[in-house]
Structure formats: structure tokens, C-alpha cells
Amino acid sequence: MPVWSELPSELLQLVYKHLHLTDQLRFGLVCKSWLLVANKKPYPPAPEHPWLMTKRGNHKEPYEFLSLTDKRVYKMYKFPQRESIKGCSKGWLVTTKDRELHLLNPISNVQFQLPHHFQFTYVSDVCKIKKAIMLHGPETFVAVLFCLGNLAICKVGEKIWRNTSTSINYDDIIFYKGKLYATYINHDNQACFSVFSVYDYDRFSVSLVPESDFCIGFARFSLSTYLDTSIYLVESCGDLLMVTSRHRQTGFDVFKLEVNGSQARYIKIKDLHDQVLFLGYGYSLSLASQNSPPGLKGNHIYCSGSFFSDCKVVFSLKDGSIKSLPPRMANLEDPIWFTPTIT
């Protein structure tokens, strides 16, 4: 019989290389020799499947994380008990409580203080943050979208937010190819975009000015339709997609953005091929079905809800069928997609 504790270090490193994050964390618990390999962290974890987590916790009930890979629920009792989670990106969360904002990695428990979010005159105690996103790179930027549609951005480590120079009420935001895209509906009820050049950030001492602003002629919204519609922005295979869904109707529509200089248009697409879209409040992402958790299908949308709707459904673009999320996903309170990382 082989003795697990006596396996060669080179072999253990090869095993470690192919493990997901949760298995790498367990790896060092086997025995001392395995712990020595794990402590060296010879390889980053294999690409992690998205988890679902609760947006809220309190002093009695821990935050819960549902791993779609092993279908287990993890409870984090030492997780800082913030009031709520407003967004995430690549394993980092933006949390808020009272008048404090933090950038937090719940796996490594590393966190950074963000500027005070009530410094703007247009923000009151009633106006909460609708969404928060991050751009990772040599410098990390955080953009927040308030529930009234106001938009602000900061560089991690700075003490102030910089709000946009426009009075536009935005519906959703995304960092795409190093720029900040924000979508809104104009006075003619057309879907429009403002594009902000993040790396010109230092040129603006007070506010950010859009480098371009364009309308998409693919759709018009009546007021009743607009108020009844959720809009999601998500990057998929290098393309920027906008997904819309009606709260009182079933189904989703998917559009791909095409930009040519100052001209832009959206093309409705009916087939995602092998891509799986994970849509939700605070974070949306796309994965190839071969890289998705077992049981999840390509050309499908898995929606955990939106800021205005508790729409926990699975939608097939192939046949238009719609059904509820599996019980383990749907039973989480206010779930948000989350991709764990230790860096």
C-alpha cells in the first residue's frame, strides 16, 4: 500500500496544479508533507467556477457560499459582517455598512478602505448603491452606480470619489477593454451608452467626462416598458453583450455591440453556442459550457435576479423555455454570483 505522506514533492506539485481553489485549501490538511507543498503555492488554482453567495449576513447567521462545482454550501463565520454586498469582480467584493465602503477578498480576508460614499450632494441616506464593479490591472479602479443612476469612480488608495460630469441616470455599468461603459435610456426612449476612458483618470481633478456618447437604434422603450425591464451588461468571448428581460414576461433578449469609430449598433443574437451566461445583481459573467460546473448547459442563461426583480430562472435561447433555478441556488437569500480567488 502506498503511503500518502511519502509521495514525492514533484508529484504532489503536479496534483496541486490541477486543483480548484477549495481543493487547494484542503490539500494542506492531509498531512505535514502535503502542507509543505501547499504553503509554497507552486501553482495558482485552476479556473474556478462561479459560486452563489448571499448578499447579507448578520452577527448570528453567517454568509453562505454555494459552490456549483461540488454542490456544497460553505459558511463563513469570520466574514466581516457588513450591511450588504454591492458588487464583485474576480473574487473581490464591495461591501457597505452605514457610511463605510470596503473592498474585500472573503477568501484571503484582505480588505481595503474605500472613500466615503456620501460625499456627493445628490446622495442621501435613502439612496443606496445599486452596483459596484472593479477594473484590475497595474492600478485598481472601482466604479459605483447609485440607485438613482448617478455614477462615480475612484482609484484604490485614493481618498475621494470622482463623479461623472453628466446628469444622466445610468442603468448598468461594465469595464470593457479598459474603458467604463454605462448604459441608459435617453429622452427619445432609445438605448444609449456613455464611454469613459479610465486611464485618463488623472486628467480630471473633479469629474470624469465621457470620451464618447452614442445611441443604439435597435430598440425603443415606452415608460411602462422601461420601468418593467432589467438590463444586464456582460462580456462574452471578447464581445460586449446587453441582455434585457421583462419582469412580467418570460424570456430574455441578447444583443451584441458593434462599434465602428463614432458609430455603434447592437445586433440581436439568438445563439450563444457553447457559452453560458450568469446574470445577476452586482455581477454577471460568461463561461464556455466545457468550463462550467457539471449540469449547466451552453446557450443558456442562469439569472439570480436583478436590483428590481427576484427573477431566479434558467432560460434557453435554443427553444425559449424558462424554468426556475435549481432549489439549492434559488433558496439562497438575495444571491449574487461570485468567482473566488486568493489574489
Q: In the 3-class helix/strand/coil scheme, how is the chain assigned residue by residue?
A: CCCHHHCCHHHHHHHHHCCCHHHHHHHCCCCHHHHHHHHHCCCCCCCCCCEEEECCCCCCCCEEEEECCCCEEEEECCCCCCCEEEEEECCEEEEEECCEEEEEECCCCEEEEECCCCCCCCCCCCCCEEEEEEECCCCCEEEEEECCCCEEEEECCCCCCEEECCCCCCCEEEEECCEEEEEEECCCCEEEEEEEEHHHHHHCCCEECCCEEEEEEEEECCHHHHHCEEEEEEEECCEEEEEEEECCCCCEEEEEEEEECCEEEEEEECCCCCEEEEECCCCCEEEEHHHCCCCCCCCEEEEECCCCCCCEEEEECCCCCEEECCHHHHCCCCEEEECCCCC
How confident is the model over 180-189, as pLDDT tens digits?
888 887 777 6
How confident is the model over 187-215, as pLDDT tens digits?
776 777 888 877 665 554 445 556 666 66
Strand partners, 97: 100
The whole-number pLDDT of residue 235 equals 92
- pTM to 2 decimals? 0.80
Backbone angles phi, psi at 251, to 5 degrees: 110, 165
The whole-number pLDDT of residue 166 equals 67
> What is the mean pLDDT of the segment spanning 108-131?
65
Does pLDDT of 218 surpass 50? no
Read off the pLDDT band of 126 (50, 70, 90).
very low
Identify the residue with better confidence: 236 or 281.
236
> What is the mean pLDDT of the segment spanning 307-318?
74
Does pLDDT of 227 surpass 60? no
Identify the residue with better confidence: 4 or 7.
7
The whole-number pLDDT of residue 125 equals 41
Does pLDDT of 265 surpass 60? yes
Residue 14: partners with Cβ closer than 8 Å, 6 or more residues away: none
> What is the mean pLDDT of the segment spanning 104-116?
81
> What is the mean pLDDT of the segment spanning 168-174?
84
CA distance 231 to 244: 5
